[in-house]
Amino acid sequence: MHFAPDTEGALEFVVALGDTDPGASRSGRDELETLADLAALLAPIPFTGRIDADAAELRDVRQTRALLRRVWTLDRDDAVIEVNRILREARALPQLARHDVSDWHLHATVPEAPLGERMRVEAALALIDVIRSDEMGRLRICAADACTGLVLDLSRNGSKRFCSVRCGNRMNMIAFRERQAAEPTPEASRRARG
């Protein structure tokens, strides 16, 4: 599946944000508990505009994480309702922008808008493309046991099941061990024949 670069980037950020949740994070802890955690999340992302780096902003971003994790799992029609609500509440006005190393892409809030609001609106703009392409099925929760990581499936055939290679390997090892346990040992086979 191919989306515009800004759409893919926004969806990849939703995955990064969503995977700070304790059920999805590599550490097993809430990786968005502190201002330092928020700074670490934002470090590789070229977010422009206002960043307050205070407790109120952290709370808002944590609420944004919960909202976007929920929207990620909705069916297409329910996602439309949430996307429209996000855009309406932010009074979003989509505009083309070009800055830094980014070519023309969409912004729909002013740079002075709160960080959480800008995150929600960027995600909503990306979800518009997913919804219009009828590709909500490419947004999933990891199929691994005890993992709630977000899966963004951009593969050609839409078959990605796990949030990471680690989860895929873990589930493959479990399946292998189950098959091994189900196969009779050579000694058990000899006793059964003889």
- Spell out the domains of the chain, with CATH numbers in brackets: 3-190 (1.10.3300.10)
Q: Give residue 14's Cα distance to chain centre.
A: 4
In residues, how long is the chain? Answer: 194
Per-residue pLDDT, 64:
98
Q: What is the mean pLDDT of the chain?
A: 91
d(CA 129, CA 109): 18
Between CA 133 and CA 157 the distance in angstroms is 15
Confidence of residue 169 (pLDDT cuts 50, 70, 90): confident
Distances (CA, A) of 66 to 21, 61, 63, 72, 185: 9, 9, 5, 10, 48
pLDDT at res. 1 = 67
User: Per mean pLDDT, which of 42-46, 170-174, 180-184 is the most reliable?
Assistant: 42-46
Distances in Å between the Cα of 102 and the Cα atoms of 20, 27, 46, 105 are 26, 32, 9, 7
Match 């589930």 to its residue by tokens.
171
Model pTM? 0.87
Cα separation, 162 vs 173, whole angstroms: 14
CA distances from 179 to 64, 146, 161, 169, 184 (A): 42, 21, 20, 15, 10
